[in-house]
A = this chain, B = another copy of it.
Amino acid sequence: MRIAIDVMGGDHAPDAILDGALDALELLGPGDRMVLVGDKEIILDVMAERGCSDDLRIVIDPTTEVIEMDDLPVSGIRSKPDSSIVRIAKLGGRRGKNTEEHCEVIISAGNTGAMVAAAQMSMRRLPGVHRPGIAVVIPTFHGPIVLCDVGANPEPRASHLHQYGQMASGYAENMLNIENPRVALLSIGSEEAKGNALVKEASVLMRADSSVNYVGYAEGRELFNGIADVVVCEGFTGNVVLKLAEGLSSGLFKTIAAEIFEIDPDLAARFEPVVKSIYKKHDYHEYGGAPLLGANGICLICHGSSEARSIYAAVRTAIRYAEKDVNADIVKAVGQSASVGKASV
C-alpha cells in the first residue's frame, strides 16, 4: 500500500506532520510506501535528523507551492498547480491508478475546502455515489458518534443525505465496531412534520430504505444523548455544529478554570488532572482524520490543528479502512454490486 501525506498542510506543518508521518512508519509493512508530499529540503532535513534517510519505504514527492488555510478552494487549486494538495489529490486519483505512483491513501491537514475540491476532481466518486461527504467521529458522553456531512457539500439534495446515512453506517460498522448503527437526521423537533423541506424529504427516503437502521430525527440537544450512532445533516449545519461543539467545549473549560481560580486558587491545581482525564477520553486527535466518504479511494482530512499523534492516528485509520475495505461496503450500500465496488477501489 502507498500512503501519501501532505507535509505542508495544517497549523503545525511541516514539523508536526513529518513527525507523525515518520512515527507511523512502524505501522507499515516492508512493501508499503509512505509518500511525503512537500518541500524536499525540509523533508530531507527531518529525515536526516531522525536517522531514517535510508528507509526505503519513504518516497519524496517534491512540491513548491502551498495552498494556505485562507486560500479559496477553487482559486487556490487553479493558481497553485504545484501545491501539495493538488499533488496528493492526483496521487490518489484515477490518472495515477495504473501507474506506480498511485496511492491508495491520501492524508492532509491542510485547507479542507481545497482538499475536498481537489479530491473530487482527481479521485472522482465511487460507483453509484452522488456526492461525497465528510464523516467525522465525535467523542460524546455516550461513546463516539459519526456526523456526516460536516462541510463537503453545503447545498445537498435529499438523496445525498440518504447516501450519507448509508455510507456513514458502513463507516461506523467497520471502524467503530457498531453493529447495525442507528441513523438519525439532525432536525429541529422529533416529529416527522418538523424540520425543513430537505430533512423531511430525506426522512422519507431513509424510512423506505430497510438497509438503513433509521431512528428518525435528532435535535441539537440529543446529539450527545446517545440516541443515535450516526447523525446525518447537510454540510453547512454540520460544519457549524462541529465547530460550535469545539469552541463551546474549550470555552467552557476555560470558564470553569477561571471560576475555580477565583473561588479557590488551591482548588485549581487539583482540577487539572480532571481536565486531563476528560480530554484523554474525548480526544479527537485520537480518531485520526475524517474520511471523505464516497470518494473513489481513501482520502482522510485531518483537523487544521493536527499534531504528530493526529497524523499517526490517521495513518492507523487509513490502514484499517483499507483492510476492512469500507469502500466496498459503501458501494454495496448505495446499490451497486459488491464486485464492481471491489474492482474499482
Contact = CB atoms under 8 A, between A and B. Distances in A.
Interface of A: 70, 72, 113, 140-141, 151, 154-155, 186-191, 193-197, 219-225, 233, 235-237, 239-249, 251-252, 254-256, 259-260, 263-264, 267, 270-271, 273-274, 277-278, 282
Contacts of A247: 220-225
A276 to B, nearest CB: 10
Given A241-B240, A251-B141, A113 B220 contact: no
A53 to B, nearest CB: 39
- A70, A186, A224 interface centre (most CB from chain B within 10 Å): A224
A333 to B, nearest CB: 26
20 contacts: A70-B190, A187-B240, A188-B235, A188-B240, A221-B246, A222-B247, A223-B244, A224-B247, A236-B237, A240-B240, A241-B244, A245-B248, A248-B248, A252-B252, A255-B282, A259-B274, A263-B273, A264-B270, A267-B270, A267-B271
A136 to B, nearest CB: 13
B191 A70 contact: yes
A131 to B, nearest CB: 14
A240 B254 contact: no
A213 to B, nearest CB: 22
Contact of A154 (B195, B240, B263, B267): B195
